[in-house]
Structure 1
């Protein structure tokens, strides 16, 4: 069945020749964008959707989340707001809660968060394991994730579990755990930070995943500068995520690479860390994406509109740059060419706003601005 979305006040396609159109229409057929043009030229279709002069954008692409978990860490957040510094160790609390949850509890919580994100315009959502840290718990985590999204990441290298020998655990990650999880995932990731994994350990773990045919992603630069960004570039990782603390060499390396710098302003908001300097990266020619980092410890939000508002206010991005980062560049962080834009042939992930412009994400922060989400996804 074909659908024409007509009477669009402002259409954002991210098409290279004409990224925005006014007075526009588009046609969806078989789950793809089949036609884009002026409203006055719109062809007939089986169904018509009147956008009522509203702004229409591509669905958000959230390329970094952790929604397979149980419980929350509200007490930890409260303590941080009272002055306690953020540290990676809180992950172990969620590991304990996740191990104690049933499969149905993990499934229901993750599905609720994915639905919450969808209601806010997210039509593609990557998510990771990493709160199980045993073979059985990581395997059930990636199975739950794979029931909700095609973009699943194995993050057995989140932290060393409490009571585990460091070398033995890394051997488990690159051996039996990777063997069990690899058939259910597309990506491998490592938390390469103080309190988690070193650069050399991360290289070893990522190379094991790459040898199994998985793409690489890296957590880096959240707590301080390290060699993790250069490692990501060395391994041609699809993305390096956080990028709060970067050296000049890091920025230069990213600018000369295909690795996307994925910024996570929700984490800075929730941990009171300095915000990433998006302006510095963009001016250097780095591809910058925005993602939610939805997790119970350091960024418990599924709202990319909220992240866009933070990026504009705190990270030096224009509204147009922030929208692009949350759509087209998010797709690049997943190495996807079929999403994040509304050009002919793209997947028909169409979001109609309750606003005349995407500028309203930052202009009216915290206000629900999603009128309707059209997508072929279930």
Structure 2
């Protein structure tokens, strides 16, 4: 069955095509035709989008949705001057280990519903709040029921029981934990930064994951520069995420690689930290993605529109660049070519904005303008 979507105020396709009066046809979950409404072929059904704006569905390429509990008190303390460090992760680890599968899945489902309501059509999620073999494995098994973009992050931080024994924990991660997690994961990730894992440890873990058939990505240079960007490029990581502290050599390396710089402005907002220099990255030719980094400690948001507004206001990118980074950029960070754009053959993932243009995503911060979200041509929200 084919469905024509018309009466569209404006449409962003992330291609070179531009239409004065756009329309599109969806068939079998994919875009079968896109062009001027006056030239639309016949379709079995019709959806009037009431003069609203259509954009590709947001692609959230970095999120941490497998957790229990919250850290509201930690956030409050930070807002009163306490410095951010990765230590608060341990609080979430304790709650996650104690949670049942049903509790973890209920929390995941709640957050996914929020994502869909905010126009996110594809999301990645990581483990990393179990930090033991059983909880990492079951977290990923639950996540895999909801997304194909699952990431093993056993190397988030060193858990309390391995304090001062980080090398022993690295051995656990790259052996028993990886073996248990790999059947449920597509990606492997390491938090390579101060207070987490050094470059040599990160290399060991990522190479073990690659050998096990997982593709690498990395948390890089959020708190300081310890060489994680260079490691990301060395191992052809799909993305280096955070990228707050960069040298000219780091930027050059990214610009001449296949590694996407994924920026997470919600984390800077929630930790009162310095924002990455997105302008410098884009001007150097680096591929940039925007993601929510949804997690209970340092970026508890599922709103990509909020992250777009932050990127425009605080990282000096244009509304068009921010939207591209939150759609096509995210797709590139997941090495996907079937999403992030609206063209014939692409998956029919798109969001409908109740506004005359996409600029309103940044122009009206804090307002959810998404009226409908379509995944494979099917309305998820109404």
Q: Considering the TM-score relative to the shorter chain, is it more than 0.5?
A: yes
Distance 1:347 1:81 in 2: 41
- How high is the TM-score relative to the length of structure 2? 0.97
- How high is the TM-score relative to the length of structure 1? 0.98
User: 1:241·1:263 contact (CA, 8 Å) conserved in 2?
Assistant: yes
User: 2:194·2:226 contact (CA, 8 Å) conserved in 1?
Assistant: no
Residue in 2 that maps onto 1:216: 216
Distance 2:161 2:98 in 1: 17
Q: After alignment, is 259-268 or 211-220 more displaced?
A: 211-220
Match of 1:155 among 138, 153, 156: 153
Gaps of 5+ in 2: none
Question: What secondary structure sits across from 1:297 in the alignment?
Answer: coil
Residue in 1 that maps onto 2:314: 314
Distance 2:14 2:273 in 1: 32
Residue in 1 that maps onto 2:63: 65
Distance 1:343 1:226 in 2: 41
Distance 1:93 1:350 in 2: 37
Across the aligned residues of Structure 1 and Structure 2, the Cα RMSD in angstroms comes to 0.9
Q: Where do residues 170-319 of structure 1 align in structure 2 (5 Å cutoff)?
A: 170-319=170-319
Distance 1:375 1:231 in 2: 35
Deviation by residue 1:152-175 (Cα, 9 ceiling, x = unmatched): 000000011102132221111000
Question: What secondary structure sits across from 1:352 in the alignment?
Answer: strand
Distance 1:72 1:43 in 2: 51
Moved beyond 4 Å, runs of 4+: none
Deviation at 1:8, TM superposition (A): 1.2
Residue in 2 that maps onto 1:100: 98
Pairing 1:334–2:344 present: no
Distance 1:175 1:225 in 2: 28
Pairing 1:126–2:124 present: yes
Deviation at 1:22, TM superposition (A): 2.7
Tell me the matched-pair count. 376
Distance 2:57 2:316 in 1: 23
Residue in 2 that maps onto 1:31: 29
Residue in 2 that maps onto 1:346: 346
User: 2:117·2:373 contact (CA, 8 Å) conserved in 1?
Assistant: yes
